[in-house]
Structure formats: C-alpha cells, structure tokens
Amino acid sequence: MKKVTGLGGVFFKCDNPQSMNEWYAKNLGLETSAYGTTFEWWQADDPSKKGSTSWCAFPQDTKYFNPSDKPFMINYRVEDLVMLVDELKKANVTIVDEISEYDYGKFVHVLDPEGNIIELWEPKEDLDPDQTAG
C-alpha cells in the first residue's frame, strides 16, 4: 500500500502571523493571505493532475497543534487515509482525533515518538488549490 505521497503543508507558530506573512511576501515573494500561501505543482506520476502544498504561520497560542507542544506541524499527503489509520492503530501509533472530512479532503492527526503532531491529508480529486490553505 502506498502511504505518504508527498508534502501537503508546513505550518508553524510565530508571534505575529500577519507580520510574518508580510515579511515573506516582501522578501521572498510569497503571495500570502491570512491562510499563508499555496504552492501548486503537477504530480510526477500523473502530469494531468495538479497537487498543492500549503505554507501557513499560526499564532503562538493556537490550539491546532495540540496535544503537541512543538512550534510546528507537517502535513503529509496520503493515498488512502482510512486504510492508513487502520495500519497505524495496529502499530500502536497515537491517533489524536477521528478522521474529519471537508470539501477538500480527509484529515487526521497523529503523534510521532517525540510528540510531534503530524497532519495526514487525503486530498479530493480535481481540487481547487485555493481551498487547501487554512
């Protein structure tokens, strides 16, 4: 079974997300919004399909990374989230929440052995990349 298929996003805590977005826009040319930015790309194994990777700054007091106390979270794109969660449960991986489903895909959060929160995302097909950030 194919598990992780790519990087879905990088999320990190900072003191002032708006200021951070402005800095990255001015100095590195990222077109940011309140939800960061989204990088679009074509899938290597099927160049007819688009993919996207999100980048987003969160406030220091965000609860979104809980129960991890780390200042970052990585989102991995996966192929079959339900099957992967079943495998992870059998391997005694800490599953933080239930699978949730949105217009842009399915999500679940797990912890690695050092308590880093990981977001797993099974994107929907024919996704508008603007829907992936935030």
CATH code of the domain in which 125 resides = 3.10.180.10
> What pLDDT was estimated at residue 43?
83
| Neighbour tally for 47: CB within 10 Å | 8
- HSE-CB of 82 using CA atoms within 13 angstroms: 2
What burial class does residue 99 get, using C-beta atoms within 10 Å of its C-beta: 0-12 exposed, 13-18 middle, 19+ buried?
middle
Q: pLDDT exceeding 70 applies to what percent of the chain?
A: 93
Model confidence, pTM: 0.86
Strands 100-102 and 94-95: unpaired
Quick one: average pLDDT of 69-98? 96
> What pLDDT was estimated at residue 134?
47
Q: Which amino acid is at 104?
A: Y
pLDDT band at residue 62 under the 50/70/90 scheme: very high
Closest to 107 (Cα-Cα) out of 131, 130, 85, 129: 85
pLDDT band at residue 129 under the 50/70/90 scheme: very low
Work out how many domains the chain is built from and give that number: 1
> What pLDDT was estimated at residue 92?
97
d(CA 96, CA 133): 21
d(CA 41, CA 37): 13
Domain of residue 48: give its range. 4-131
